[in-house]
Amino acid sequence: MSLYQAPLKDMQLLLERTLAKTGLLDLPALAEFDSELIGAVLEEAGKFANGELAPLNRVGDVEGCRFEEGRVITPSGWKEAYRRFCESGWLGLALPADFGGQSLPRFIAQPVNEMWLSANQAFIMFHALTQGAVDILLHLGSEAQKARYLEPLISGEWTVAMALTEPNAGSDLGALSTKAIPQDDGRYLIKGQKIFITYGEHDLTDNIIHLVLARTPDAPAGSRGISLFAVPKVRINDDGSLGEANDVLCTGIEHKTGLHGSPTCSISYGERDACYGELIGEENRGLAAMFILMNEARLSSGTQGIALAEVGYQRAREYALERIQGSDYLTGRQRVALVEHPDVARMLLSIRSEVMGLRSLSYLIAALIDKAEHGRDDAERTALQSRIALLTPVYKAFTTERGNLMTGTVIQIFGGMGYVEETGVAQLMRDARINTIYEGTTGIQARDLLFRKIQGDDGAALKSLLAEIDELSGTLKAETGPSGLGEALGQASAAVSAELSAILDRNRADPLQLNAGGVPFLEALGTLCCAWQLGDIALVAQAALAEGRDPDYHGNLQALAQFYYAHSVPRIDAHLAAFRQARAGIDRYRFTIHTN
Amino acid sequence: MSLYQAPLKDMQLLLERTLAKTGLLDLPALAEFDSELIGAVLEEAGKFANGELAPLNRVGDVEGCRFEEGRVITPSGWKEAYRRFCESGWLGLALPADFGGQSLPRFIAQPVNEMWLSANQAFIMFHALTQGAVDILLHLGSEAQKARYLEPLISGEWTVAMALTEPNAGSDLGALSTKAIPQDDGRYLIKGQKIFITYGEHDLTDNIIHLVLARTPDAPAGSRGISLFAVPKVRINDDGSLGEANDVLCTGIEHKTGLHGSPTCSISYGERDACYGELIGEENRGLAAMFILMNEARLSSGTQGIALAEVGYQRAREYALERIQGSDYLTGRQRVALVEHPDVARMLLSIRSEVMGLRSLSYLIAALIDKAEHGRDDAERTALQSRIALLTPVYKAFTTERGNLMTGTVIQIFGGMGYVEETGVAQLMRDARINTIYEGTTGIQARDLLFRKIQGDDGAALKSLLAEIDELSGTLKAETGPSGLGEALGQASAAVSAELSAILDRNRADPLQLNAGGVPFLEALGTLCCAWQLGDIALVAQAALAEGRDPDYHGNLQALAQFYYAHSVPRIDAHLAAFRQARAGIDRYRFTIHTN
């Protein structure tokens, strides 16, 4: 049984469609990235994911990381895979060529990232950290800081750790208490305890650059008094060589239910009062600095939902085609394959259709980011940024929530064998389970959506999105292909639109009441976005069918869209009903829990 | 933080209501079980669950069972807890007094079983096995067999293993190939390999009675050629004392993602051609014998969904009340408890409301079983049996599916801490994950529901259920209390009813097509049943409120009903839409998976 095969055919189709729709390759900066180049990158990445990373996924789960006297030992093979990953240029793929990267656009990095995550999420978690740190340094770092950090980070010589969370400051970073005391030489003495630091300590590289949120002595309380510091594990000499240890001590790693191969560290900074860091950006602007990487991190964790579902689907499909069990109702045939049972087919299609819709959404967002970066004028860039900002919390929360369900469905298809760890699919459920929590929980994404992204621009970005969905609905209605999709899409869009006034009229519903229905509203919008993408895929397939191209494949794409419209789109109304009714009851509900 | 407290107040309220509605205590055989006796049993069981079993739950998860040269060593404390459980009379609680049990009715055993499962599901799994074996022996055993087995089983001196599954015969038992060759002395020589045998080997008792499904030499193929045999691990002398070992060899245990404390064994029978068993019941009637315990097993695994969600709710509620994180949107207060965040309150209520509705359903089924056993006449008993038969697959599949979601929600409420194993709630998700698979997967329950339970009696049992739900809808509409519940319940019932003709008209939809929408239909009916019970609870609460009794508690019960009607009842229409539309697409979908 193959562990993972990059779904190149699906990816290529979706990429080509996304590029065609967004006109991305018409931009001068991106014109060189033709489909031949894209195809070559995807194929090589697929080989690396399947050949190098996937075989280590279960190794990482079984062995986990070991903690020994302040050191963290990664699972067997991790070090070699890390070295090859960096040497092959994958780490620097979308990082700036000025500092040793390859500056490939986001739309190519997106399918590649999905492959890494499908193959081995626990391993690859260093990747988004480096990406985020590079973004921060490019935006906020001094020239000296860029010179000091960027090349070693992009080459993979050093890695990055993000030290945000403290025991009493999780989702609420404003509560953190780590101190940063300015020294005469311009450095800061760092002192405090941080927890839940991914790759905060490991044996992959000689140095780790910790980006630490801390408070200077006179900083205001709350989130307006947080600054960002670069704190290397090993001090860096002026010539870039490594000096003495910097009083950064790993005090333990968590025993998590999944992602065993990714060390989640507790770190003590300055136990011996000898931990020094340098300020990145301005004092008290640390949280703003974090927002630079937050969107990146949210898109990356959203992709984890898709990636784990994809590899789970591949395993479940293979098993369902091979495993003989039970008889066929219709034909009376004895001993048929699992896939012949309609409910097994239903479960498989529920994963594949949703993965295709959400993957398509991920490509769209990636392409919008590229377009916003290279866009022709400010007005276009601003409009694109609004669309990206609106879709980010929906994408992050919805794909990860669905990822939890889809990886559970994979176990269900395997039956009793899925419950046995050796099969490897229970790991997918366990690995996935953090994705709805870190980088902002689903509840926090819903709050971001309702208040910042919808109320914040008086609904403009959402209205523009719904208008585009309505346009597709009209096109689908006019098509002779798959029937009913256009009508269903239009109704769903109208149903979401009908709730807009309640969100925007601040006199009608107070924030607490709105917030109580935030997640159901986000789920409605997420389902609508997935339907939107699948409706569009059905159109693309229709065009290919009209030309007689690859009729099985394109017919199947239409079937995926029809499946999603049959099974999932009806949930939109249910989510919206919950959104409406949740608002009325929230005071009562909190009282109910208090008095139980 | 308390590990578990039996929810005595909720349980007592639901029990009293169930008894009042079913008129159970009016039956002469049950009149002695007054609320004082019930209260005493529940209180003692709660103490045992909390004091003895709950502390061992995480021990079992962390240590797991060890396999050493054919022996299985259970986790620390397991043996002592087993001894105390049996000595305190809990094992025999609902087993016949003629053989050492206490013959308590089912309706008392149900809440007690829920407590054991909340406290330590992995530990208590021997319980349902003994219960099932006793049922089989009472129905099918000869007098000699009853005399040989029942007392040692009911006292806990011996345990039971059910040896059904084989590597190529999982859900499809008709495919099994273990042989049973008759000997001159009336015994059978057993030879074959079985897997996935819960408590198939352990160190709790000196003997284990394996109930083994096997084929005699001339048996017909498939499920009509299966016979049931009692195969003791250690042979039993005529005086009941233990003799020699019986060539029953445990060859390994599974490494499961959850239920680590419950050994899941592979057993080889007759490796040395010296494994003897005796036939239970008639030859080739083994599968029918299994059906005696199947309903029992399905109700028990259904309760696992409720039990794990209940203990998860308790832990999450306590955490949400204590953990300070974030600020309050409405008041601007800094540093509020998690529970003040509307989305956290929403998640907590989603669990509590569903647990109450499903627990109520479990009590109803238990009471119906008692009533059917002690009922006044055949007609009443037959009607009750039909109702039980209809509700069993719905209860089993729906509560376990929801249990997966609810234990996931518990982790979500805990945030990052929920992902850390020491917190103990990730274990609930891992333990729960098998419940939708064993004792018949959700897909198999849906098939049972559509074909046996609905088509099988031309919809009579379902129509009778819907009529009763409509009656409650009418009563709710006439009440002055919680508004809108009666209307919503009536609409939901009508929506389910509207699908009946499609199920019953065998010319309209072939079985494969119906089957493709089976799970969505089951989910619609499960949601309706939960709403039905919560609607009734709201009425009971309304009556108490009218009398001024315990207004906080009864007001909260009404809030639970309102929450469920707001958040979950709207899903019924979505499930039914999927049911309708799944039928049309199934041929296409299977093709899609094949050609991917």
At B193-228, the pLDDT tens digits run 999 999 999 999 999 999 999 999 999 999 899 999
Determine the length of chain A: 596
CA distance A414 to A328: 18
Residue B509 has pLDDT above 70, yes or no: no
User: What are the phi and psi torsion angles at B228 (to 5°)?
Assistant: -110, 135
Task: Please answer yes or no on whether B516 and A346 come within 8 Å at the CB atom.
Answer: yes
CB nearest to A416's CB, from B317, B429, B437: B437
- SS3 category, B150: helix
The question of whether A439 is a catalytic residue gets the answer yes
- Residue linked to tokens 């009562």: A588
Q: Tell me whether B592 touches chain A (CB under 8 Å).
A: yes
Cα B188 to its chain centre, rounded Å, is: 33
CA distance A593 to A574: 24
Q: Kindly state the percentage of chain B with pLDDT values over 70.
A: 97
Q: Tell me whether A194 touches chain B (CB under 8 Å).
A: no
Residue B560 has pLDDT above 70, yes or no: yes
- Residue B332 — very low, low, confident or very high, per pLDDT cuts 50/70/90? confident
> A28-69, pLDDT tens digit by residue?
889 889 889 999 999 999 999 999 999 999 999 999 999 999
pLDDT for B305 equals 97
- Residue linked to tokens 């407290």: B5
Average pLDDT, chain A: 94
Does A508 fall in a domain? yes
Burial of A467 (0-12, 13-18, 19+ CB in 10 A): exposed
> A209-223, pLDDT tens digit by residue?
999 999 999 999 998
Q: Which residues have C-beta within 8 Å of that of residue A543, sequence separation ≥ 6?
A: none
**Chain A partners of B595 at a C-beta cutoff of 8 Å?**
552-553, 556
Could you give the number of structural domains in chain B? 2
- Residue B330 — very low, low, confident or very high, per pLDDT cuts 50/70/90? low
Does B576 fall in a domain? yes
Of B226, B257, B284, the domain-final residue: B284
Residue A483 has pLDDT above 90, yes or no: no
pLDDT for A193 equals 97
Whole-Å CA distances, A127 to A104, A130, A550 = 15, 5, 37
Mean pLDDT of A11-35: 91
**Chain A partners of B574 at a C-beta cutoff of 8 Å?**
570-571, 573-574
pLDDT for B536 equals 97
Q: Which residues of B are catalytic?
A: 439
**Chain A partners of B329 at a C-beta cutoff of 8 Å?**
511-512, 515
- Predicted ipTM? 0.97
Does B536 fall in a domain? yes
CA distance B595 to A556: 8
Residue A325 has pLDDT above 90, yes or no: no
In terms of DSSP bridges, do strands B234-236 and B71-73 run parallel, antiparallel, or are they unpaired? unpaired
How would DSSP label each residue in A384-410? HHHHHHHHHHHHHHHHHHHHHHHHHHH
Mean pLDDT of A254-261: 98
Task: Please answer yes or no on whether B412 and A342 come within 8 Å at the CB atom.
Answer: no
Rounded to two decimals, the pTM is 0.97
Shortest distance between the Cα of B400 and any Cα of chain A, in A, equals 12
Shortest distance between the Cα of B184 and any Cα of chain A, in A, equals 35
**Residue with more model confidence, B36 or A118:** A118
**Chain B partners of A577 at a C-beta cutoff of 8 Å?**
566, 570
CA distance A197 to A233: 13
Q: Tell me whether A376 touches chain B (CB under 8 Å).
A: no
CA distance A430 to A308: 10
The residue range of the domain holding A506 is 442-591
Q: Which residue of A has its CA nearest to B580?
A: A566
Start-end of H helices in B415-499? 416-419, 425-432, 442-447, 460-478, 485-497
Q: Count of A–B CB contacts within 8 Å?
A: 293
Task: Please answer yes or no on whether B343 and A426 come within 8 Å at the CB atom.
Answer: no
Task: Please answer yes or no on whether B593 and A320 come within 8 Å at the CB atom.
Answer: yes
Does A587 fall in a domain? yes
Own/partner long-range contacts of B46-49 (Cβ < 8 Å, ≥24 apart): B46/B5, B46/B6, B46/B8, B46/B115, B48/B84, B48/B85, B48/B88, B48/B90, B49/B4, B49/B6, B49/B115, B49/B116, B49/B118, B49/B119, B49/B120
Q: Tell me whether A51 touches chain B (CB under 8 Å).
A: no
Catalytic member of A322, A439, A479, A523 = A439
CA distance B237 to B243: 6
Residue B486 has pLDDT above 90, yes or no: yes
pLDDT for A61 equals 98
Task: Please answer yes or no on whether A429 and B257 come within 8 Å at the CB atom.
Answer: yes
Check residue B220 and report its DSSP letter: P
Q: Which amino acid is at A400?
A: T
Does A230 fall in a domain? yes
CB atoms within 10 A of CB B76: 12
**Residues 513-572, chain B: which have Cβ within 8 Å of A?**
513, 515-520, 552-553, 555-556, 559-560, 562-563, 565-567, 570-571
Residue A100 has pLDDT above 90, yes or no: yes
> B11-20, pLDDT tens digit by residue?
999 999 999 9
Q: Tell me whether A495 touches chain B (CB under 8 Å).
A: no
**Chain B partners of A419 at a C-beta cutoff of 8 Å?**
254, 256-258, 433-434, 437
**Chain A partners of B168 at a C-beta cutoff of 8 Å?**
324
Bin B581: left if φ > 0, else alpha if -120 < ψ < 50, else beta: alpha
Mean pLDDT of B554-563: 93
pLDDT for B512 equals 82
Residue A336 has pLDDT above 70, yes or no: yes
Does A95 fall in a domain? no
**Chain A partners of B335 at a C-beta cutoff of 8 Å?**
172, 175
pLDDT for B53 equals 98
Shortest distance between the Cα of A315 and any Cα of chain B, in A, equals 13
Of A233, A258, A284, the domain-final residue: A284
Task: Please answer yes or no on whether B570 and A553 come within 8 Å at the CB atom.
Answer: no
pLDDT for A508 equals 64
Q: Tell me whether B412 touches chain A (CB under 8 Å).
A: yes
- Residue B481 — very low, low, confident or very high, per pLDDT cuts 50/70/90? low
Does A263 fall in a domain? yes
pLDDT for B169 equals 87
**Chain A partners of B448 at a C-beta cutoff of 8 Å?**
none
**Chain A partners of B517 at a C-beta cutoff of 8 Å?**
346
If we measure between CA atoms, which residue out of A4, A122, A111, A103 comes closest to residue A60?
A122
**Residue with more model confidence, A93 or A175:** A93
pLDDT for A330 equals 65
CB nearest to A596's CB, from B170, B317, B570: B317
**Residue with more model confidence, B296 or A347:** A347
Written in H, E and C, the secondary structure of B330-392 is CCCCCCCEHHHCHHHHHHHHHHHHHHHHHHHHHHHHHHHHHHHHHCCCHHHHHHHHHHHHHHH
Identify the CATH number of the domain in which residue B209 sits: 2.40.110.20
Q: Considering only A468-482, B388-402, B407-421, which range has the smallest mean pLDDT?
A: A468-482
Task: Please answer yes or no on whether B416 and A170 come within 8 Å at the CB atom.
Answer: yes
Q: Tell me whether B482 touches chain A (CB under 8 Å).
A: no
**Chain A partners of B345 at a C-beta cutoff of 8 Å?**
516, 586, 589-590, 593
Contact B349, B309 (CB under 8 A): no
CA distance B461 to B392: 12
Task: Please answer yes or no on whether B590 and A342 come within 8 Å at the CB atom.
Answer: yes
Task: Please answer yes or no on whether B589 and A349 come within 8 Å at the CB atom.
Answer: yes
Burial of A190 (0-12, 13-18, 19+ CB in 10 A): buried
Residue B155 has pLDDT above 80, yes or no: yes
Q: Which residue of A has its CA nearest to B405?
A: A405
**Residue with more model confidence, B507 or B431:** B431
Contact A180, A227 (CB under 8 A): yes
CA distance B330 to B342: 11
Chosen for mutation from B439, B567, B569, B580 (greatest number of chain A CBs closer than 10 Å) is: B567
pLDDT for A587 equals 64
Determine the length of chain B: 596
- Residue linked to tokens 């001024």: B548
Of B236, B255, B284, the domain-final residue: B284
- SS3 category, A181: strand
Does A8 fall in a domain? no
> A494-547, pLDDT tens digit by residue?
999 999 988 998 776 678 888 889 999 999 999 999 999 999 999 999 999 999
> Which residues, in sequence order, are bridge partners of residue A73?
A66
Shortest distance between the Cα of B142 and any Cα of chain A, in A, equals 33
CB nearest to B570's CB, from A347, A416, A574: A574
